[in-house]
Amino acid sequence: MECPNCRFHLTDRHAALIPGSELANERGPVARYSCPACRTQSEVRPTLDELRAWTLLTQGALLQAEGRFQEALNCSEFVLSTNPNSAMGWYNKGAVLSNLRRFEEASMCYDHALEFDPHRINTLNNKGNLLLAMGRAGGSALL
């Protein structure tokens, strides 16, 4: 999504799901995007697929914290099947694959996540830690 004010490319990390809004006095959840470039906020009504994706990303993170890695991986893969441009979907999948010690696959997932959100610190950090674990840490290997 682009910021309607300055055209900055907004990603899922710029959004927060809120329970209701002033959008035409309608009820139901709304995605509020905050633009870091111009500091404006805009609200949009999320689609059913977007709501499902946000729910599954959260569920996947909880499953991963419980050590239920295959179930967490399934959540990420479903999100990516409906939105292959989801930086959070790729990030979560990379984190799960790292826990499963599938390092090459995790590395590719982090690369995809960085394509869609190149400045996300958590992704950069995880990619660096992964390269260390793989014995491939080097000055330019990260990017």
Same domain, 100 and 129: yes
- Rounded to whole angstroms, how far apart are CA atoms 104 and 14? 28
Query: pLDDT digit string (tens) for 3-40?
Result: 888 888 777 667 777 765 555 455 667 778 888 888 88
- Asked whether residue 23 is assigned to any structural domain, the reply reads yes
Q: Are residues 53 and 66 in the same domain?
A: yes
pLDDT of the residue at 142: 44
**pLDDT tens-digit series, residues 75-134:** 999 999 988 988 999 999 999 999 999 999 999 999 999 998 888 889 999 999 999 988
Phi-psi region of 133 (alpha: psi -120 to 50; beta: other; left: phi over 0): alpha
Clarify whether residues 23 and 74 are in a common domain. Answer: no
Confidence of residue 141 (pLDDT cuts 50, 70, 90): very low
- Domains: count for the chain: 2
Beta partners for residue 115, in sequence order: none
- Write down the pLDDT at residue 103: 93
In three-state secondary structure terms, 1 is coil
140 part of a folded domain: no
Residue 2 forms part of a structural domain:
no
